[in-house]
Amino acid sequence: MTTREKYIADHAALFWYTPEAKKKDISDSLLVETILNYGTMDDVKALFNLMGMDKVADVFFAAKGRQKLNYFPQIYNFFTLVFNRYVPQRSPERQAN
């Protein structure tokens, strides 16, 4: 079992609607969306340790259209502020260039 599979197994209650056989196929976008929306801050920290904050930010900001609307408005606002502050390539100074 990979670290990612163990992380998903440890948070299986959040993926209750996904059949056991399909849990290994959970995409990065679904993983990030589910953990940010429904996980605890400890779950979020573990996600950052698993994927890296840069990768989580990339997946988060890659959400467009309906995927973007899947985030709760408060969650989207909070993590936009967090990633803009703590992920160097997402900083407002770099985005302005």
pLDDT 10s digits, 49-77 = 999 999 999 999 998 887 788 999 999 99
Residue ranges per structural domain of the chain: 3-96
pLDDT of amino acid 41: 95
Q: Report the percent of the chain where pLDDT is more than 90.
A: 54
- Distance between start and end Cα atoms, the chain: 42
Closest listed residue to residue 50, CA positions, set 91, 82, 9: 9
> Residue 90: which pLDDT band, with cuts at 50, 70 and 90?
low
Name the strand (E) or helix (H) holding 5.
helix 3-10
CA distance 68 to 64: 5
Q: What is the pTM of this model?
A: 0.83
Q: What's the gap between Cα 26 and its chain centre? A: 12
> Residue 12: which pLDDT band, with cuts at 50, 70 and 90?
confident
Max CA separation in the chain (angstroms): 45
